[in-house]
Each structure stands twice: as C-alpha cells, then as structure tokens.
Amino acid sequence: MLLPLPALLSHDDLAAVRSLIDPADWIDGNATSGHQARLVKHNLQLPETGDVARQAGQIVLAALARSPVFIAAALPARIYPPMFNSYAGGQNYGLHVDNAVRVLPDGDGSVRADLSITVFLEDPEAYDGGELTIETAFGAQRVKLAAGDAVLYPSSSLHRVEPVTRGRRLASFFWVQSMVRDEGARSSLFDLDQSIQQLATELGPANPALVRLTGVYHNLLRRWADG
C-alpha cells in the first residue's frame, strides 16, 4: 500500500516545525547509517536525540494521532521518533531498503519497521528533484507532495530520493510497527474499514447489516493482531 496523507500537518503545525528546524545545526546523515546505506546516502540530518528533533517530532506525532486515515491504515503499535533530513546541492539517497528493526535512540526496545513515512516540509516549487521514488509491483512511483503532506508505504519496498538540483528539500521520516504484521491482512482491514465508514454515512451506523460487518472487522483484527 502506498497511501498519501494530504495536509497531515496544518499550516500552524508546519510553521512550528519549520521555526524549530530551519535555524538548527545539521549533521552528516550518515551519523545514523549502516554500512550499506553509507554507500548511497548523501544528505544532512538533525541529531535524532537533540531537543530540536524531539520538539519537532512531537508536533508530527500529534498530527498523526489526529489522522483517522493513518490510524486505520497503519494500525500502529509503536512509532519510531520522527527524524528530519535535508537535501541540497545534488544530494540524494540511492536505491535502498529500510532496516527491518530499528533500535530506539533511548535504548528502550526497538521498532519493527513495517511501514515508512515521509512528511514533506518544503513547498515543491521551491526545489527541483528530490522525488521519493518507490518501487512497486506497478513500476516506480515518484512522490513529491505539498508541504505538510505525507506518504505511507511499506518499509520492505526499494526506494530512493532523487538528487536535489535546486533549492532545498526538507522532510521528516520515520517508521511504524503495526499491530498487524502481514501487509496483505493490513491492507484488507483498511479497505474494510473505509467501506464501513462510507456505508455508515449512507445507511446510518445502527444498520443491522453494518453492525455485523463491523463485527467481522474486529474479529479479523483480533485474529491477525500480534499478541
């Protein structure tokens, strides 16, 4: 599933994040990279344990908590603290796949990376290049969204960030461990949830058939959710 989340950050959210990260001190993005990533990763990041990343990340997480589409699609169990990166002057991130497990920066356990999120923080007209290119069964999908928009996609997919040849691309990125590990099951639950929401509008939430269908959803979630 490759799912856009339009206007995840409100105008005020975006302004608050930018007021924090724009004047911050950035470091080499390979500070958090493994051996393979170092070969293809060329960007800057905010120190992930710093106050700026933590404060800006809290704004992003609060926006996620208000997004019913994100909750329905991701069924989040744990979320890695949002990180922030910057690309300019030809910087890029070559083809790669995200690590399956991310150790939390505070050492308090880990997050299985089922889903990846990129939140775009710069107006797409302000920079050239920088598309997030995700390999799918239907070919490569190039994603470059408005500031405040986000995209949710499987962490297992091959993806890259194209070179930024003008301006500066700013984004937040992080990973979600879902309650439902299996991608196909999670996608089916999302489709079912969205259909239930639409039918509730058309038929009313008390419709007996809709109540039974809602029960099917929860019984499938109960069956597929990790213990």
Regions in the chain scoring below 50 on pLDDT? none
* Residues 216 and 136 reside in one and the same domain: no
* Residues 133 and 197 reside in one and the same domain: no
State the CATH number of the domain containing residue 165: 2.60.120.620
What pLDDT shows up at residue 30? 83
Identify the residue whose tokens are 């069964």. Answer: 137
* Residues 138 and 207 reside in one and the same domain: no
What pLDDT shows up at residue 36? 66
What pLDDT shows up at residue 219? 97
* Residues 146 and 209 reside in one and the same domain: no
What pLDDT shows up at residue 89? 97
What pLDDT shows up at residue 29? 86
Structural domain tally of the chain?
2
What pLDDT shows up at residue 43? 96
* Residues 41 and 8 reside in one and the same domain: yes
* Residues 8 and 50 reside in one and the same domain: yes
State the CATH number of the domain containing residue 195: 4.10.860
What pLDDT shows up at residue 227? 60
Domain final position from 162, 178, 194: 178
What pLDDT shows up at residue 140? 94
* Residues 195 and 166 reside in one and the same domain: no
* Residues 165 and 200 reside in one and the same domain: no
- Give me the torsion for CA of 33, 34, 35, 36, rounded to 10°: -90
* Residues 70 and 21 reside in one and the same domain: yes
* Residues 54 and 96 reside in one and the same domain: yes
Contact between 85 and 148 (Cβ < 8 Å) = no
What string of DSSP letters covers 158-220? Answer: -EEE--EEESEEEEEEEEEEES---HHHHHHHHHHHHHHHHHHHHH-TT-HHHHHHHHHHHHH
* Structural domain boundaries, residue 210: 183-224
* Residues 67 and 136 reside in one and the same domain: yes
* Residues 134 and 213 reside in one and the same domain: no
Model pLDDT for residues 161-208, shown as the tens digit of each residue: 999 999 999 999 999 999 999 999 999 999 999 999 999 999 998 999
